[in-house]
């Protein structure tokens, strides 16, 4: 099994080695090339969600999910209390006991936070990350990215032959899909909108929105700066600019930088 570097289902953060345990498992297979182009119209939103549910079920079965009595699981449960239905979305939260500094959200409302992220961030910063990821779902970035992954991965011929009908995916197909998802990225505009959503999410939950900025700062600080980790920041360009923009917005709104 290899490391899942970036997840297009809504990854805000990067991954680096800590001591929290294993890394996210992904059945990484070489993608098959093909000339057939499958139009996005072959998949409805409902079918994409059906595939998404199967994908996240596979991820949960193949990664160490923190049990309910785990300290990190209890921490996340407390942080997200009252958020299982937010802004019209049905959400569910789990912790992966892996060392990746990572979090992602899927179009079906599944939000997954890695132990590595929780180890380096405060409760408020974790909420900022969660809000950012929910923003990608609310803005349909997660759904659109997943659809693209379905239609550009080795699954495309199978999806086309089924006429877009959601069907049970094999282990190898899920591995191919995971690879396609991992190699996707969001645009600057999408990231900026998700930042704005995360900022508003913190305010809506009575948390100082400055914590969006400090969460970004920790990502840069723990990788020795963006230059050192530039490849890992490939889907999240202009991180320093995003730190400054969020901080400036918080100052304008009258919030003080937390100690």
In this structure, the dihedral spanned by the alpha carbons of residues 133, 82, 257 and 119, taken in order and rounded to 10 degrees, is: -60
Active-site residue flag, 133: yes
Residue pair 199/246 in contact by the 8 Å Cβ criterion = yes
Catalytic residue among 47, 124, 133, 179: 133
Q: Under 8 Å CB-to-CB from 198, ≥6 apart: which residues?
A: 128, 129, 130, 131, 132, 134, 135, 212
* Cα gap 238→234, rounded to integer Å: 10
Q: Which residue from 34, 44, 1 is spatially nearest to 146, judged by alpha carbons?
A: 44
What is the 8-class DSSP label of residue 69? T
Q: Which residues are catalytic?
A: 133
């Amino acid at each position: 099994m290899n490391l899942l570097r970036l997840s297009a289902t809504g990854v805000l953060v990067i991954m680096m080695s800590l001591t929290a345990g294993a890394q996210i498992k992904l059945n990484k297979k070489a993608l098959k090339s093909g000339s057939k182009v499958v139009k996005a119209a072959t998949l409805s939103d409902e079918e994409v969600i059906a595939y998404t549910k199967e994908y996240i079920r596979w991820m949960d079965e193949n990664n160490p999910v923190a049990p309910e009595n785990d300290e990190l699981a209890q921490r996340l449960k407390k942080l997200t209390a009252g958020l299982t239905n937010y802004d019209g979305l049905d959400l569910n939260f789990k912790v992966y006991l892996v060392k990746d500094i990572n979090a992602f959200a899927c179009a079906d409302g599944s939000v997954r936070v890695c132990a590595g992220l929780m180890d380096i961030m405060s409760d408020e910063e974790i909420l900022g990350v969660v809000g950012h990821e929910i923003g990608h779902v609310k803005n349909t970035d997660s759904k659109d990215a997943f659809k693209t992954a379905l239609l550009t991965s080795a699954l495309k011929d199978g999806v086309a032959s089924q006429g877009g009908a959601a069907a049970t995916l094999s282990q190898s197909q899920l591995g191919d899909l995971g690879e396609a998802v991992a190699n996707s990225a969001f645009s600057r505009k999408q990231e900026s909108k998700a930042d704005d959503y995360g900022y508003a999410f913190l305010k809506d939950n009575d948390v100082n929105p400055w914590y969006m900025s400090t969460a970004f700062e920790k990502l840069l600080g723990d990788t020795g700066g963006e230059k050192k980790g530039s490849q890992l920041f490939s889907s999240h360009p202009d991180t320093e600019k995003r730190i400054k923009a969020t901080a400036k917005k918080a100052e304008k709104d009258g919030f003080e930088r937390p100690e």
